[in-house]
Amino acid sequence: MFRAIFLDRDGVLIENRSEYVRTWSDVEVYPEAIQSLGHLIGYKVVVVTNQSAVGRGLMTLETARAINNQLIDVFKKRGAHIDGVYMCPHAPDAQCDCRKPNPGLLLQAANDLSLDLTRSWMIGDAWSDLLAGKAAGVRDVALLKTGRGNDQLLQPKPVALNDYYVSHDLEDELTTTQKPDDSTAKQ
């Protein structure tokens, strides 16, 4: 069984867009995300992303998949790896089990990729990302201040989140992940 770093896509690897990432031209990759994943050792990297623009009829499932595939290629060409992308294409009112904060995407990835959730992390820019990680049984969760993270910190913390890390960006957080005995940033 492998350890994994589960990552939200928008706001963690790429810029978050209020009108959704609907085409490749909307994608702005965080350079530090590529660099930090390129140095990550000993973890599978899995992107788990809600893409409600598909369920809302703003883009096709094929377009969403193509964007994810191009993103994987960009990271690979620059020396970083992504082992899988799991996407919820449903609208928020669909009541599916894959839309974060539900754990379905993480559970599916764990099954497909032989992941040990108890030795894995979930990193995102929204409370829903952290809640999905906790519901799936990951060891630790972290909120990044990139994307929606700073705004999330102004909102009430969900009761289900007893402890979590807060980091400036993915590079900051992965430095902590590589040194799990350092809990100085834990909330």
Encode 136-164 in three state secondary structure: HCCCEEEEECCCCHHHHHHCCCCCCCCCC
What's residue 178's pLDDT?
Answer: 57
- Whether the predicted pLDDT of 167 surpasses 50: yes
- Average pLDDT on 58-69 reads 98
**Catalytic (active site) residue 10:** yes
3-class secondary-structure state, position 160: coil
H or E segment to which residue 48 belongs: strand 44-50
Do residues 109 and 70 lie in contact, with contact meaning Cβ atoms separated by under 8 Å?
no
Condensed to tens digits (0 to 9), the pLDDT of residues 26-55 reads: 999 999 999 999 989 899 999 999 999 999
Integer Cα distance of 49 and 100 in angstroms: 8
Sheet containing 140-144: order of strands: 84-88, 44-50, 4-7, 121-124, 140-144, 165-167
pLDDT surpassing 80 at residue 164: yes
The tokens for 150 are: 């700073």
pLDDT at 137 over 50: yes
List domains and CATH numbers for the chain: 6-177 (3.40.50.1000)
pLDDT score of 104: 98
Q: Above pLDDT 70, what percent of the chain? A: 94
Query: Mean pLDDT across the chain, nearest whole number?
Result: 93
Mean pLDDT (whole number) for 111-119? 98
Query: Which pTM was predicted?
Result: 0.93
**pLDDT above 60 (res 171):** yes
pLDDT tops 80 at residue 184: no
pLDDT band at 175 (very low <50, low <70, confident <90, very high): confident
Q: Which residue has the tokens 């960006």?
A: 169
Look at residue 82 and tell me whether its pLDDT is greater than 80.
yes
Per the CB < 8 A criterion, the answer to whether 61 and 23 are in contact is no
pLDDT of residue 179: 45
pLDDT score of 186: 57
Is 97 designated active site?
no
CB atoms within 10 A of CB 179: 10
